[in-house]
């Protein structure tokens, strides 16, 4: 479960995923720049505890939250926190191994491996999605270097 602590910025969101989203669930919202922005489902208009498909509700896109974290990682203050979508928990860059994983924010208070939660600023930090700017690296940077082996052998031999 995730708990909102402070500095909240909300966004009205219509769930178009085909499935219901639980209140407190961390999701990745697509942006116009093609990046993904972390969000936490906060409430629904029907007050049934989840945001049904095609239902409108509020998501948190900026604020300090407590998030469930992996029991195998520790976080230093200021460290980038990733969201492991398959495990539904905060992790570090090494634990973010699929394309569904995304940067969720920046750790605000150091968390030991034994800690169950990490305090973080949602969409904040050097790798977090910036609301004011579209130059973010919140999606996995997969720079595909296409090694074109077009060896143009235009060797001119001089006699």
Contacts of residue 38, Cβ cutoff 8 Å, sequence gap at least 6? 26, 27, 28, 29, 61, 83, 102, 103, 104, 105, 122, 123, 128, 129, 138
Q: What is the pLDDT of residues 88-147, one digit of tens each?
A: 999 999 989 888 899 999 999 999 999 999 999 999 887 777 555 433 333 333 333 333
Distance separating alpha carbons of residues 23 and 28, to the nearest angstrom: 14
Which tokens in the block code for residue 92?
């570090």
- Give the whole-angstrom CA distance, residue 77 versus residue 39: 21
pLDDT digits (tens, 9 = 90+) for 10-47: 889 999 999 999 888 899 988 887 778 899 888 766 67
Structure tokens at 38: 């972390």
């Amino acid at each position: 479960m995730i708990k909102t602590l402070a500095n909240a910025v909300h966004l009205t969101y219509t769930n178009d995923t085909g499935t219901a989203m639980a209140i407190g669930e961390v999701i990745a919202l697509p942006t116009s720049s093609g990046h993904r922005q972390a969000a936490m489902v906060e409430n629904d208009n029907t007050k049934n505890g989840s945001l049904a498909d095609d239902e409108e509700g509020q998501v948190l896109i900026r604020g300090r939250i407590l998030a469930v974290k992996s029991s195998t990682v520790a976080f230093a203050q200021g460290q980038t926190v990733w969201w492991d979508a398959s495990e539904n928990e905060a992790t570090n860059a090494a634990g973010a191994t699929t394309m569904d994983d995304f940067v969720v924010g920046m750790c605000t208070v150091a968390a030991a491996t034994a800690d169950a939660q990490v305090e973080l600023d949602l969409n904040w930090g050097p790798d977090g999605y910036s609301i004011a700017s579209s130059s973010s690296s919140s999606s996995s940077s997969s720079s595909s270097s296409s090694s074109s082996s077009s060896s143009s052998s235009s060797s001119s031999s001089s006699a």
